[in-house]
């Protein structure tokens, strides 16, 4: 197995280019990733494409039918390209959106192909879409970090966030200072308005 692409230590400051909370779901909310190896492939794939596209991930959680992450987009260049007209140059938001779509397009294409080869369903649609929110307030950003770290608890998969193997909670508690962990975990999850009507628990 290739080396796991662990992110750098968290910074917990909004990025200049943009900081995003992203959610993506499988088509029809089907439990296509409901096995350990499938969750491992999805988690590794997400962190790998983020690294390749220079996105700095600070929190993530992957499940049988959806995933969330919080990440900083690549920082915009310090000075504009002199060869490009200022009127034609994309704004930081446009660069962010384009990069995010490309990054997740690669993730979804590769994981869908892998999954459909495994299940011998070559024409099956695996992914539905993704939605993103650009975070512009520090408190909103920090609250969504906690929400993402602890999302497995919300979905009643584990009693403690760091017990869920396919999320960032254990990594975060290992690499961040105790003060930083306590600060993030103080945010109340029931006060966060996030569309998250998924049930990743497998049917009996």
**Cα–Cα–Cα angle for 159, 165, 168, rounded to 5 degrees:** 90
Confidence of residue 95 (pLDDT cuts 50, 70, 90): low
Give the pLDDT confidence of 148-171 residue by residue, as tens digits. 999 999 999 999 999 999 999 999
In a domain, 49, yes or no: yes
Q: Which pTM value belongs to this model?
A: 0.87
- How many domains does the chain fold into? 1
SS3 32: coil
Q: Which of 35-49, 125-139, 187-201 is modeled with the greatest confidence?
A: 35-49
Is 11 domain-assigned? Answer: no
CATH number at residue 58: 3.30.70.1290
CA dist 23 and 118 (Å) reads 25
Look at residue 201 in the predicted model and tell me its pLDDT: 73
pLDDT, one tens digit per residue, over 108-148 is 999 999 999 999 999 899 999 899 999 999 999 999 999 99
62: part of which helix (H) or strand (E)? strand 56-62
pLDDT of residue 41 exceeding 60, the answer is yes
Q: Percent of the chain beyond pLDDT 90?
A: 66
**CA dihedral (79, 85, 87, 89) positive or negative:** negative
Through-space distance between the first and last CA atoms of the chain, rounded to whole angstroms:
32
Looking at residue 98, its pLDDT comes to: 76
Domain annotation covers residue 85: no
CA trace torsion 153, 155, 156, 161 (10° rounding): -20
Domain housing 62? 19-80+90-189
CA-wise closest residue to 200 among 55, 46, 48, 23: 23
Sign of the C-alpha dihedral, residues 57, 105, 152, 17? positive
């Amino acid at each position: 197995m290739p080396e796991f692409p662990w992110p750098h230590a968290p910074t917990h400051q909004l990025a200049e280019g943009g900081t995003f909370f992203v959610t993506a779901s499988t088509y029809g909310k089907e439990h296509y990733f409901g096995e350990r190896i499938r969750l491992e492939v999805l988690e590794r794939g997400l962190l790998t494409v983020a690294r390749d596209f220079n996105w700095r991930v600070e929190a993530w959680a992957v499940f049988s039918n959806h995933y969330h992450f919080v990440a900083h987009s690549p920082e915009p260049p310090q000075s504009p390209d002199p060869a490009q007209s200022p009127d034609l140059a994309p704004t930081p938001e446009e660069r962010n959106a384009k990069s995010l779509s490309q990054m997740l397009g690669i993730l979804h294409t590769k994981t869908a192909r892998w999954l459909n080869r495994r299940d011998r369903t070559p024409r099956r649609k695996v992914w539905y879409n993704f939605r993103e929110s650009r975070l512009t307030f520090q408190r909103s950003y920090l609250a969504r970090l906690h929400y993402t770290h602890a999302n497995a608890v919300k979905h009643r998969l584990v009693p403690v966030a760091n017990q869920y193997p396919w999320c960032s909670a254990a990594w975060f508690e290992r690499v961040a200072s105790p003060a930083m962990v306590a600060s993030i975990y103080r945010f109340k999850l029931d006060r966060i308005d996030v569309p998250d009507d998924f049930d990743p628990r497998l049917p009996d």
